[in-house]
Structure 1
Amino acid sequence: MVHTKFWGRLSLAEGTYRYQQLQQWILQGIIDGRWTPGDRLPSIREICTQQGVSKATVQHALQRLEAQGFLEVRPKAGHFVTLAPKATAPPRTTSRIEAPRPVNVSDLLLDIMDRNAAFDLLPELHAGELPPGIVSLNRAIGRALRRQRGADFQYYDKPAGDLKLREQLGLLLAKRGWPVTPDELCITSGCQHALFLALMACCQRGDIVAVESPGFYGVLQLLEQLGLQVIEIPTSTASGLDMDALEEALGRWNIQTCVVSPAFATPGGALMSEAPRRRLMALAEEYDLAIIEDDIYAESGFSRVPDTLKALDDSNRVIHCSSFSKVLSRDLRLGWISGARWHQRILNLKMVTQLASSRYLQQGVAAYMEEGELSAHLRRQRKLMSEQRDRLLASLLAWPVSVRVTAPQGGLAFWLELPATVDTLAAYPKALDAGVVITPGPLFSASGKYGNCLRVSFSHPWDERRIRALNQLPELLHLT
């Protein structure tokens, strides 16, 4: 069978290469089943004409897909698809809504974090040189430290944080449709701290909080510590929170707050489009709902960085939380929050939970941003993450059994759905014995769902050692 018609033209975002966009577009076509195994792609000339790109651009994109195992070249015949799209179908979600419940996070999460393995199968493997962006960051922070004068060391930073850093964050966020002022921002010790402040500010013990399912286990930890109840809202790994399910839940229970990641949510990398975002804001208005936006992955978008949900907030009810940990450095521990109508309370809570942030660290990051170093780092990082994602996807599709897996356009991880007979929790100690650390699916639910699912990250280079570790999983999971 020959497919010669493309579905639409490429949407080229600023700061990305055309061959990357074309490569991603063809890969998405394979994942969506637009082209099936054995299908011939349109000719190079046809692609050039239909997409308005050069011959060199098309050849580069096709060569990369061939190297990753998605295509094969047949002399005088063209490029043909080699991998089955059924293996890349998005994981399924359940539509059943369970009643609110207290949260009890598994001790397994502490074990994973203690092994420093949240995003790595082989956490003991610390190979490679520092990326240029991190070298520049370290220099900027070092310069800020050396410039400290007099008795600065004897004074605390103001609760809201360094003004120059908040100004730079305002410029960054304005590019995403939200003209925020420095007075609306508060610097925190990472995004987890920001989420903690947000929940403390708008909830009381016993309140019900709606979360994505599967969703971020860090939020579940916070709910447990604060004595809050959770209601899990089914989430599509492609498009995000199920708005019909959320509306049903709002009609049945007195939900105080909804925590949502509209951009490349973990674990599946879902990106919520504008229509459900607007519907979410309408539901929040109708039910007097506080919205906590976990925006930590937004800047990781391979082809574009979506607008913030906060940009649609006309009623001052979206608390925006984020940090640099997923796109710059996990070790930086520098985040921010914009508290909407709860902002003054959040400033007070920050003094209770942290007192103050390091001034020289903030000053160094502010200078790093002002000099354009962050923008340059993000361009390099997006390209690198896109390449690592493609390599990991090719490796997963080479497994001896079909798996359902997301194909995120940003973020750091895949969400794998394995056969129903697989028990990833039971496989965890077996994997440890083999020197591999997995992240079982039940960690992403308060009710123990997703026992046959895994989160696998592409945040580290997929060299031969990590590929070997990955290829041990089918046997450890009894897939062979």
Structure 2
Amino acid sequence: MPREYRYQTLEKWLLKGLQEQRWPPGERLPSVRSLCQQQQVSKATVLHAYQRLEALGLIESRPKAGYFVLKPSTETCEPRTTGTMLPPRPVSLSDVFADIMGRSAAFDILPDLKAGEASPGISALNRCLGRALRSQKGDRSQYYDQPAGDPGLREQLALLYHRRGYQCEADNFCITSGCQNAMFLALMACCQKGDIVAVESPGFYGILQLLEQLELKVIEIPSSPATGMDIDALEAAIQQWSIRACVVTPAYATPSGSLMPDSARHKLLNLAENHDLAIIEDDIYADTGFVRQPDPLKALDQSNRVILCSSFSKSLSRDLRLGWIDGARWHARILRLKLVTQLASSRYLQQGVTEFIRDGGYRSHLKRQRLELRQNRDQLIQLIQQQWPLTLSRNTRISQPNGGLAVWLELDSDKDILTCYQRALEEGIIITPGSLFSVSGQHSHCLRLSFAHHWDNKRTQALKKLGQVLHHFA
């Protein structure tokens, strides 16, 4: 087992105090200085522990006042584990999914709204890409990129992961056409037709699409909007069925924004080792974390059985289609599969992004983006509570993620959000019904709403109209 760092020890001590109500809800926690003296640790250690608890939604930082214990909500924000575990089944996605993707509306209720000016980060990225494209002179543009991808970009990825606790090398990575492509390669490398794959429920519909194309069977594992996949339920499923792989998003999973605690991560890896399970980690949302960017599950992998997949599509730009995969024990096979399915990646895109990261542009962009996303999340939840008085009830639940791009709404159990899709479409509004995040018809009374965009007047009015549609037609 890897050694426990001081901030982790302090975090556990603070968490135990919160559970025992040593500091009741609303009370101020010990100051950073007093904890440094009491626990004989550095200021950085205390701040790291406090930030991790804040990311879990247990405490909050108040400017010039310190850290305070959050009061649990009694109305709309109480998370709970959802989903029912059913026998493995083939995957078949609905026409609504294809319609949403065809309208480029996965993360916007008004996809036809005119886009605003590019952010400073995207403008800087475009300049880097332009310089890289202009540098492709002479015969250089006539050669394919090497299969693993640009060495410079892979080196920058290794440095980014070093800061998140994963000590890796550039050679660990293979560049892909986005995270979806990375997960496609991962599934092809470790699974065969007819194998059973465990996924979170609700879970990412993109992975369901891949499972359908590869003719794999899926078993849905109930998940909590706060802590992610129920590992005890996964263990029960493993005892009953021969599961080959598990796809999981430990950091700010879509659609709920859940963050898997360290204890569940360790238990998941123990299960994988004991039952020869391949773990495919979707790490795409980690960089969006408002307070902290948790270590990847891969950082705890002692047996080289976690395949790490990610991209820049959620943290930087969806247009890049630039991702990566750390293939673990399947790395050589993944490189061969990339040659067959993709051949090579764009050289100038990789070089432009490399410069953007190396010169500090990516770090500056993330700092601005995280602040904006947190403000957008808070505004979205406030607007829902204010504008949907007839839609909400005592049974309504709204997740409060500390990263990612969306909140998960759970309405009354008799609601059927899918029936509202066409009616909302007539108003120019695109919704993402909860049933799309399941292959067994679960979560029909839920929906995902994104806070990736600013809540300007037009989106605010669209949200208000959506509340009326849900009240009258769901």
**Alignment TM-score > 0.5, same fold:** yes
- Write the distance in 1 (CA, Å) between the matches of 2:55 and 2:101: 36
Alignment of 1:224-263 (within 5 A): 224-263=212-251
- Write the distance in 1 (CA, Å) between the matches of 2:245 and 2:399: 28
Contact in 2 for aligned 1:91/1:416 (Cα 8 Å): no
Number of residue-to-residue matches in the alignment: 433
Deviations 1:80-115 (A, max 9, x none): x9x974122225514x42110000011211100111
Match of 1:54 in 2: 64
Which of 246, 258, 273 aligns to 1:270? It is 258
Match of 1:370 in 2: 358
1:216 aligns with 2:190: no
CA 1:28–1:240 in 2, change beyond 3 Å: closer, same or farther?
Answer: closer
CA 1:52–1:336 in 2, change beyond 3 Å: closer, same or farther?
Answer: closer
Report the TM-score, using the length of structure 2 for normalisation.
0.86
Match of 1:93 in 2: 82
List 4+ stretches of structure 1 deviating above 3 A. 6-14, 24-29
Contact in 1 for aligned 2:153/2:354 (Cα 8 Å): yes
Match of 1:320 in 2: 308
- Write the distance in 2 (CA, Å) between the matches of 1:324 and 1:298: 11
1:5 aligns with 2:17: no
Deviations 1:429-455 (A, max 9, x none): 010011111000000001111000000
Which of 131, 141, 146 aligns to 1:153? It is 141
Which of 131, 134, 159 aligns to 1:171? It is 159
Match of 2:267 in 1: 279
Match of 2:381 in 1: 393
- Write the distance in 1 (CA, Å) between the matches of 2:26 and 2:434: 39
- Write the distance in 1 (CA, Å) between the matches of 2:300 and 2:239: 23
- Write the distance in 2 (CA, Å) between the matches of 1:193 and 1:329: 16
CA 1:13–1:195 in 2, change beyond 3 Å: closer, same or farther?
Answer: farther
Which of 175, 178, 201 aligns to 1:190? It is 178
**Can you give the 5+ residue segments of structure 1 that lack an aligned partner in the other structure?**
33-46, 62-69, 71-80
- Write the distance in 2 (CA, Å) between the matches of 1:366 and 1:25: 32
1:474 aligns with 2:467: yes
CA 1:245–1:430 in 2, change beyond 3 Å: closer, same or farther?
Answer: same
- Write the distance in 2 (CA, Å) between the matches of 1:238 and 1:126: 34
CA 1:25–1:185 in 2, change beyond 3 Å: closer, same or farther?
Answer: closer
**Can you give the 5+ residue segments of structure 2 that lack an aligned partner in the other structure?**
1-23, 36-41
Residue 415 of structure 1 and its aligned partner are, at CA, apart by: 0.4
Secondary structure of the 2:319 match is helix
- Write the distance in 1 (CA, Å) between the matches of 2:43 and 2:300: 22
Report the TM-score, using the length of structure 1 for normalisation.
0.85
Q: Indicate the percent of aligned positions where both proteins have the same amino acid.
A: 56
Secondary structure of the 1:282 match is helix
Match of 2:285 in 1: 297
Match of 1:162 in 2: 150
What amino acid is the match of 1:415? W
1:134 aligns with 2:144: no
Contact in 2 for aligned 1:159/1:351 (Cα 8 Å): yes
Secondary structure of the 1:330 match is coil
Which of 417, 425, 433 aligns to 1:424? It is 417
Match of 2:405 in 1: 412
Contact in 2 for aligned 1:321/1:338 (Cα 8 Å): yes
CA RMSD of superposed structures (Å) = 2.9
CA 1:321–1:84 in 2, change beyond 3 Å: closer, same or farther?
Answer: closer
- Write the distance in 1 (CA, Å) between the matches of 2:262 and 2:55: 24
- Write the distance in 2 (CA, Å) between the matches of 1:271 and 1:332: 26
1:121 aligns with 2:109: yes
Secondary structure of the 1:361 match is helix
Secondary structure of the 1:443 match is helix
- Write the distance in 2 (CA, Å) between the matches of 1:348 and 1:26: 39
Contact in 2 for aligned 1:212/1:241 (Cα 8 Å): yes
- Write the distance in 1 (CA, Å) between the matches of 2:43 and 2:178: 28
Deviations 1:36-65 (A, max 9, x none): xxxxxxxxxxx9xxx79526x89xx9xxxx
Residue 169 of structure 1 and its aligned partner are, at CA, apart by: 0.4
Deviations 1:118-155 (A, max 9, x none): 00000001232100000000000100111122201111
- Write the distance in 1 (CA, Å) between the matches of 2:359 and 2:446: 42
Secondary structure of the 1:123 match is coil
Contact in 2 for aligned 1:165/1:365 (Cα 8 Å): yes
Deviations 1:149-183 (A, max 9, x none): 22011110000000000000000011111111111
